[in-house]
Structure 1
Amino acid sequence: MARPASRFGYLDSLRFIAATVVVWQHLTDHRGDFLGRTVAQVGLGHAGVVIFFCISGFVVPLSVGGRMNFASFMVRRMFRLYPLYLAALALLLVVGGSGLLPQWAFLWSAPPRDWIANLLLVQDFAGARPFLGVSWTLIIEIMWYTLFGLSVTLFGKRAGDILDIVMPASLLALAAASLLLESRIPLGRPMMLYATVFGYQCYRHATGETDLRRFLLSIAVFLTTVLICTYVGFAVFQHAVMSFAQTLGPWLGGIATFLAIVFWPRLRDAPVFNAGWLPLLGTFSYSIYLLHPIAINAATHYFEGPLRMPIAVLLLVPLAWAGFRFVETPAIGMGRVWGRRIDARSAPVT
């Protein structure tokens, strides 16, 4: 039976598209053939991450609704993010310690410092060995939750306008400092945080909070800031892996894809994006994203040649479904329960 249409099914479909291109990038990372080189040059995975953060900026304010209770909001968001990550680490301990996937055997001898850094999601900032490479995006999500929650708590309806000024100004200041100091200041991850703020501006326009003129100005400032920061971070100064073209192309492609599906009615309202398998698969896109390295590593470890890619996909689908069904879904429910308790405690006595 076909899955019924959802009001925001197109966002779930967009999530699945983003997850798919990230998985595709990692499936072809170690291929030395034309396909592998092409995917690496195009930077599909990078575009997928940009789309993910734009979506996050759109759906987080959508999930809040009316009154903001910062403590309740953060509890709900942490229950959305952390349980699957902790479950993934537990799974890595099992498959690594048992020898099923020796790549993660090191977890059993990892120093406490590395464990603390990875549990707090600050492994890249602390110089610790990452346990699950794709988890680098999760700390940016937490930064976005904190930034949004505090901004709305402190500034109310002015939060969107303030963030729309503060974020590009901060990034351009970092780019200017990099030029003045003649030293490369990492700008890629702050740009990803700005992508969430841009998604927030898209939400504001989609709900009628800002007019077209203001929205077009937000787009222009966002694109200009991305161009300048990408040029400074990846052209003036060299990155160890990514070139200027490999960085800017995915940014522009990801932004264009997000804007097209969210604001072009022929795409946004298309049945394929709002009912059926595509939005259904999108509902567990977080599990697809976070768990796909395990499936890929298993396929790579036990199979050779062209079988690796289809086997990885066949392993990933049930693994991601299980992650959504048995970890994400109950955790989301638990977050709502605790959130309501906090709301009730902080409600004014009448």
Structure 2
Amino acid sequence: MFSAPARLAWLDALRGPAALAVTLHHAGWTFAPGLWAEVDRRIDFGAFGVFVFFLVSGYIIPASLERRGDVRAFWTGRAFRLLPLLISVCGLVLLLAQAGVLPLEPRLADRPVPVVALGNLTMLQELLNLPPLISVTWTLSYEMAFYLISVALFQVRQAGRSAEIAVVLAPVAVGLGLLVPQTMLGGQDDLAATLLPVAVVAAIVVTALGRGKVRTAAAVAGGLLGLGLVILGSRGGTWQGVIILATMFAGTAVYRAERGAVPWRTAAVAVAVVLVCGLPAKDDPGWAPAITLAFGAFALAFALRRRTFPRWLPWLGMISFSVYLLHPILLHVIPDPVLYFLVLIPLSATTYRLIEAPAQRLGKRLLAAGAERR
């Protein structure tokens, strides 16, 4: 029934509530803005949800890469995991906008359609100052940067240094945030917004298909591009962008400690440094409580990872990507908050069953067939 092995059910048990926290955050601002403003001043549930996602990705992405032991298999798996639903929902957004049901980001009118499409389909739009077709996909830009860096570290056999990387990135985030408080990739540079995603795609393709030094060079280039985009292109500011990367590496450090690759003390230091440096990254009273709660929720779920969770909780995590991508659309088409939540979960379960699950199975079959041919 679940997409993850039983030993990883705790990750799905985290994803579900994280997705609901983000939906609650946006629903609150839509349906009860006055009340939600008071809530948001105390704790930003949207930030809580996405930082839980970042910690979970940090834990599981390097594990997935190393379990496969093959960058081609990793990128194929990521493509079939994310792109089918992303493309489908982007298409739905455009159809609803054409019908006058859904408003699009105003900035879309100012940028060429091919440039916007390329940025969104490569999931780099947030780091290229491009308007998103789906508002919440800004987090996928940081996920993509993390994938690129993780593949580079794996290819040069430095993946085990996650804790050290987290400890370095966190104070660097503070320093860069003070020196470079705003993105340096602002404005409307369509040439850069075209060439950079093309370069990223080229690095991924060569890494996946190349061999030897060519593969390594492409992986390193991709990793440097990912890091550079976060430092120079984070629309929320360099401090926040680099802290997001550090947070994912903190999640990886926990994975390394669990595997016995690094001492628990080292992982704990990495997590603590990232949290301390991340708390003041945003001048918002709800930010620090949200980040603290996200780290606490991750720690609690990890501590309970060998327990049995109620079946609905990992199931909710299994459909969380659909929940995450679909909820902004429903906010525009369903005016009633109760009906909104009543529709969101069944609809997300349906898109998981009809789009996500078949695509993942197809990806696995293609990988298996490729492995047999080799």
Normalising by structure 1, report the TM-score. 0.80
The gaps in structure 1 that reach 5 residues or longer are 236-242, 301-307
Contact in 2 for aligned 1:72/1:340 (Cα 8 Å): no
Q: Which moved more, 1:316-325 or 1:218-227?
A: 218-227
Q: Is 1:255 matched up with 2:295?
A: yes
**1:213, distance to aligned residue in structure 2 (A):** 1.8
From 281, 285, 292, the counterpart of 2:320: 285
From 277, 295, 298, the counterpart of 2:333: 298
Q: Which residue of 2 aligns with 1:10?
A: 10
Q: Which residue of 2 aligns with 1:87?
A: 88
Contact in 1 for aligned 2:52/2:298 (Cα 8 Å): yes
Taking only aligned residues, the RMSD between alpha carbons, in angstroms, comes to 3.1
Which secondary structure does the structure 2 equivalent of 1:234 belong to?
coil
Q: Which residue of 1 aligns with 2:23?
A: 23
**1:161, distance to aligned residue in structure 2 (A):** 4.6
For 1:189 and 1:338, the matched residues in 2 are separated by 35
For 1:172 and 1:144, the matched residues in 2 are separated by 19
One-letter code of the match for 1:84?
L
Q: How does 1:50-69 map to 2 (within 5 A)?
A: 50-66=51-67, 68-69=69-70
Q: Which residue of 1 aligns with 2:188?
A: none
From 140, 143, 148, the counterpart of 2:142: 140
Size of the alignment, in residue pairs?
317
**1:61, distance to aligned residue in structure 2 (A):** 2.8
* Cα distance change on mapping 1:313 and 1:83 into 2, 3 Å: same
List per-residue Cα deviations over 1:82-136 (Å, max 9, x = no partner).
111101011112222234x242498899742333332333333433332110011
List per-residue Cα deviations over 1:281-302 (Å, max 9, x = no partner).
11111110111111221113xx
Q: Which moved more, 1:152-161 or 1:15-24?
A: 152-161
Q: Which residue of 2 aligns with 1:189?
A: 241
Q: Which residue of 2 aligns with 1:118?
A: 120
* Cα distance change on mapping 1:84 and 1:17 into 2, 3 Å: same
Which secondary structure does the structure 1 equivalent of 2:22 belong to?
helix
List per-residue Cα deviations over 1:165-210 (Å, max 9, x = no partner).
443354244135348xxxx953222222221111111111223322
Q: Is 1:215 matched up with 2:264?
A: no
Contact in 2 for aligned 1:168/1:194 (Cα 8 Å): yes
Contact in 1 for aligned 2:25/2:46 (Cα 8 Å): yes
**1:226, distance to aligned residue in structure 2 (A):** 1.5
For 1:102 and 1:164, the matched residues in 2 are separated by 40
The gaps in structure 2 that reach 5 residues or longer are 182-235
Q: Which residue of 2 aligns with 1:303?
A: none
The percentage of counterpart residues that share the same residue type is 26
For 1:186 and 1:96, the matched residues in 2 are separated by 32
**1:317, distance to aligned residue in structure 2 (A):** 1.4
Contact in 2 for aligned 1:51/1:255 (Cα 8 Å): yes
Contact in 1 for aligned 2:102/2:329 (Cα 8 Å): no
**1:150, distance to aligned residue in structure 2 (A):** 1.5
**1:71, distance to aligned residue in structure 2 (A):** 2.4
From 304, 309, 317, the counterpart of 2:345: 317
Q: Is 1:205 matched up with 2:257?
A: yes
One-letter code of the match for 2:147?
Y
From 129, 132, 135, the counterpart of 2:131: 129
From 219, 234, 237, the counterpart of 2:282: 234
For 1:193 and 1:172, the matched residues in 2 are separated by 13
